[in-house]
Amino acid sequence: MQKTLSNLSATAAVLVLLASLSSVSTLASECQLEITGNDMMQYNTAELIVPKGCTDVSLTLTHVGKLANNIMGHNWVLTTDADFQAVAMAGMGAGLEKHYVPQDDARVLASTDVVGGGESTTITFNVEALSADGKYVFFCSFPGHWGVMKGILKLSS
Ligand code: CO
């Protein structure tokens, strides 16, 4: 009887461990965002929502068009709404080799490389410092794109 009870509690402990492992992996997969850009200078969405409980978020940008990155390049840059226009302007001066992103600029909360048609890029960034009621804008900083290729990133409340 003693042995059965201890086996049972060992089984219970394993089940609890498995349950917690599985909830961690579910959460990690929910913290993956995806967006595409095309040859028409468009993202496929104007809103991205970070699920509740995410600390690190991975974002994958896929260019589903065919044009090269120096003609119709796309990236994904995250700033506050207040910093968006100034960072977009500064990005133009950074040039393609710097992915049109101002370097060492704290206003840039996250940014990807510039990709061309058929290419994809993934970044991981931490969202713990973002505020649930903050206004965050994502945009493509390729010259001439940010007026159209932009959207809102929200933290799920
Ligand atoms: Co673009």
Q: Does the pLDDT at position 128 exceed 80?
A: yes
Q: How far is the CA of 68 from the centre of ligand 1 (A)?
A: 11
| Single pTM value for the model | 0.83
Cβ atoms 136, 154 nearer than 8 A: yes
Q: What percent of the chain has pLDDT over 90?
A: 78
Give the pLDDT band (50/70/90) at residue 40.
very high
pLDDT at 26 over 50: no
pLDDT at 30: 85
Per mean pLDDT, which of 3-7, 27-31, 70-74 is the most reliable? 70-74
Whole-angstrom Cα Rg for the chain: 20
Centroid of ligand 1 to alpha carbon of 149 (angstroms): 6
Ligand 1: distance of its center to the CA of 21 in Å?
Answer: 39
For the cut 90, the answer to whether the pLDDT of residue 10 exceeds it is: no
Pairwise CA distance, residues 136 & 79, whole Å = 6
- Tell me, what's the pLDDT at 27? 61
- Find, among 113, 105, 110, the residue nearest to 89 by Cα: 105
Q: Give the mean model confidence (pLDDT) for residues 96-123.
A: 98
Output the CA 83–ligand 1 centroid distance in Å: 18
